[in-house]
Amino acid sequence: MHLVVIGAGHAGVEAAHIAAKMGVTTTLLTMNLDQIGQMSCNPSIGGVGKGHMVREIDALGGVMGRLADAAGIHFRILNGSRGVAVRGPRAQADRVKYRLEARRLLENTPNLHLRQGMAVGLRWRNGTLGLEGVELEDGSFLPCDAVVVTAGTFLNGCVLIGERRVEAGRAGEPASIGLGKQLRALGLPWRRLKTGTSPRISRASIDFSKLEAQPGDVQPRPFSFFGPGPSLPQVACHIAQTTKETEAAVRENLHRSSMYGGHVEGVGPRYCPSIEDKYVKFPDKERHQIFVEPDSLETDEIYLAGLSTSMPVDVQERMVRSMIGFERAEILRPGYAIEYDAFDPLQLCRDLSVNGLEGVWFAGQINGTTGYEEAAGQGLLAGINAVRWLREEEAVILQRDQAYLGVMIDDLVTKGTDEPYRMLTARAEHRLGLACDLADVRLLLVAKAIGALSVTEIESVERRVLWRARLRVQCDESWVSRTTVFGPIALESGLSLASGLTLAELLRRQHITDELAEALLANLPVWNESCGTDSREWERDLLLFEIRYAPYQARESRLLEGQRAWDHVKIPASFRIADLPGLSYEVKEKFAKHRPETLGQASRIPGITPAAVTLMHLLIAKA
């Protein structure tokens, strides 16, 4: 068995690594071995929703969390003052170090081979059945039994700066024309999407004394549940603001931008708009925040997150120098837009294999997503499921209540997307149960089934599970009254303790502060034992979250029972939906377009009514 992964961006790194870890001989094919794991846009990993996925990737045996820890130079927990469910870890990474660490890790992974070259086509024995391998531009041929395509922005890619339009996968690298043409010729529905980058500035040309410093967390919180954690020196980021002069520079030159000058066909990301879009779509907003992020400890480059643009270089210089602290700024690399082919994710199965192309999986921006984390999550699951297909094993399908990764895949293959898809916590209706700090526990059984984690790593998760269970039992069994050790501490909170209560009942009360909670927990024997994590503060927060949100999670579990039943009812492939009685034309049309594999998936298609799903269930039962 041999698997080829095309593309060595964040999706390709995960797909190749996990497949090799699962024991399958894997070749990672990339145009440039020096660009493995390249951070083409801003040098950061994680955030709200995205950070949740990085933790899930790590919990299943992926590498993004470990690489972020090894290359991280600025760590922050976003939404730190809010509930545990919506906190999101984020790290500023050393772009150079991240790329080097990614290559080093892959070069030392058994069963994994790196190969430089450009794929120009896939070859099957009979039409699109019986995959034989991958044809390369140099005339050579890579035989394989399965392939994961993670082409990023390279398929018919085109870089745009003002009126200039150059075929490229990203600045300075060629586009993948041959493979892009073949996939179009196979009849796969496709569309043009767009993304963009911001200009990089010389550090020495910025007056940081005029900027607002944004330090990282005093104690960096690692992404990985298993790795050694952050080790590089930590640096501050800064915040700048656009000005009236910035707005004037943009508005006076809109006709010269690629986007508004009519040179772009593709749809851009809604939640990461260009500076041109910001001024056009939000005309009442006087200023826009710009995040000043160091690219690397090894270079002088500074990335201006929030200033993505496709303006000509002279306009970019005017925009940048209009901001306070940037009066003498020098642009080292101008920002640009990039347009590329993406293929409709509705033609994917839930395991990310492509309907009608035997042995082929798609992952990353080719499926219409944007972001390193979204790509990495798809790459991981595509790699896992390609291996399981080769072994004739059942695919790993994460449900929406199991993981943000499950939410993303289900959204893509069920609803599709007509713009670059980005993960948001609001997309997860079951987010109360998807706290990122519990991803290792939540996905433990799945991780065991995949088999990519070591015995030591699995045991470390099991120790945490056991310790937390014992902690909860002691909270339920410990009695709080005037005569117990908890009494004096409880009285500080204003309770009379006339009848007493359990420690769990006391901790459930919202007026018990974090400090009081820690003082109470210090009297429990289990609290003073090793918990297998590096932070008692986080363990305290997880315990309070579990205790205080238990009623809401119980209610959600009851609702989920009914929904899970639909997810286990598969729609037979032999069903001719158009011939079924009792279904409206609209329902039949949506079934034909979205091709759901289960009734649960069908129920989440916009426009499919509960009555239609119930009728479909009856028809399946009668068949």
Q: What is the CATH number of the domain that holds 607?
A: 1.10.150.570
Q: What is the pLDDT of residue 236?
A: 96
Residue 532, pLDDT above cutoff 70? no
Nearest C-alpha neighbor of 307 from the set 292, 297, 295, 325:
292
Q: Is the pLDDT of residue 464 over 90?
A: yes
pLDDT at 59: 98
Q: Tell which of 280, 301, 336 closes a domain.
A: 336
Enclosing domain of residue 466: 455-552
**In angstroms, rounded to a whole number, what is the distance separating the alpha carbons of residues 439 and 54?**
10
* 374 has a pLDDT exceeding 80: yes
Residue 564 has pLDDT above 80, yes or no: no
- From 411, 426, 450, the end of a domain falls on 450
Q: Which span out of 115-124, 213-222, 544-553, 570-579 was modeled with the highest average pLDDT?
A: 115-124
Mean pLDDT of the chain: 92
How are beta strands 25-30 and 2-6 bridged, if at all?
A: parallel
Statement: residue 302 has pLDDT above 70: yes
- Pull the structure tokens for residue 418: 């007509």
Write the pLDDT tens digit of every residue in 475-506: 999 999 888 998 888 888 777 777 889 999 99
Q: What pLDDT score was predicted for residue 340?
A: 96
| Residue 192 banded pLDDT, cuts 50, 70, 90 | very high
Q: Give the strand pairing for 212-214 and 164-167.
A: unpaired
pLDDT tens for each residue of 308-338:
999 999 999 999 999 999 999 999 999 999 9
Model pLDDT for residues 231-248, shown as the tens digit of each residue: 999 999 999 999 999 999
Residue 52 and residue 80 in one domain: yes
3 state DSSP class of 484: coil
pLDDT per residue as tens digits for the range 284-301: 898 999 999 999 999 999
Instruction: Tell me which of 2-6, 459-463, 575-579 is least confident.
Output: 575-579
Q: Contacts by 396-401 with C-beta closer than 8 Å and gap 24+?
A: 396/351, 396/446, 396/449, 396/450, 397/350, 397/351, 398/443, 398/446, 399/564, 399/567, 400/428, 400/429, 400/430, 401/430, 401/433, 401/434, 401/560, 401/564
Decide: 16 and 383 in contact? Cβ < 8 Å. yes
Label residue 193 exposed, middle or buried (CB < 10 Å: 0-12, 13-18, 19+): buried
Model confidence pLDDT, tens digit, residues 200-234: 999 999 999 999 999 999 999 999 999 889 999 99
pLDDT band at 562 (very low <50, low <70, confident <90, very high): low
Amino acid letter, residue 97: K
Say what the pLDDT of residue 623 is: 67
Q: Which two tokens stand for residue 19?
A: 């497949």
320 and 276 share one domain = yes
What does R_g of the chain's alpha carbons equal in angstroms? 26
* d(C-alpha 49, C-alpha 76), whole Å: 14
Long-range contacts of 442-449, Cβ-Cβ distance < 8 Å, separation of 24 or more: 442/59, 442/402, 442/403, 443/56, 443/59, 443/60, 443/398, 443/402, 443/403, 444/59, 446/60, 446/396, 446/398, 446/402, 447/59, 447/60, 447/61, 449/396
Report the run of H or E that residue 57 belongs to, with start and end.
helix 50-59
CB 250 within 8 A of CB 89: no
Residue closest to 529 by CA, chosen among 577, 464, 598: 464
Predicted confidence at residue 38, as pLDDT, reads: 96
At residue 240, the 3 state secondary structure works out as: strand
The pLDDT, as a whole number, for residue 599 is 83
* 82: its two tokens: 């809010």
pLDDT band at 149 (very low <50, low <70, confident <90, very high): very high
Q: Report how many domains make up the chain.
A: 4
Interval 27-72: pLDDT, tens: 999 999 999 999 999 999 999 999 999 999 999 999 999 999 999 9
Same domain, 187 and 217: no
Please say which residue of 397, 431, 450 terminates a domain: 450
Confidence of residue 125 (pLDDT cuts 50, 70, 90): very high
**d(C-alpha 621, C-alpha 565), whole Å:** 14
- 316, 360: one domain: no
Using a pLDDT cut of 90, give the percent of the chain over it.
Answer: 73
State pTM to two decimals. Answer: 0.92
* pLDDT at residue 311, as a whole number: 95
Same domain, 533 and 398: no
Cα–Cα distance for residue pair 359/372, rounded to 1 Å? 25
Is there a single domain that holds both residue 460 and residue 441?
A: no
Looking at residue 374, which CATH number applies to its domain?
3.50.50.60
User: Residue 332: its pLDDT value, please?
Assistant: 97
Question: In this model, does residue 151 exceed pLDDT 80?
Answer: yes
Residue 34 placed within a domain: yes
Q: How many CB atoms lie within 10 A of CB 356?
A: 13
Same domain, 507 and 585: no
187 shares a domain with 89? yes
Examine residue 484 and state whether it is found in any structural domain, yes or no.
yes
- Indicate the pLDDT class of residue 570, thresholds 50, 70 and 90: confident
Query: The domain that contains 262 carries what CATH number?
Result: 2.40.30.260
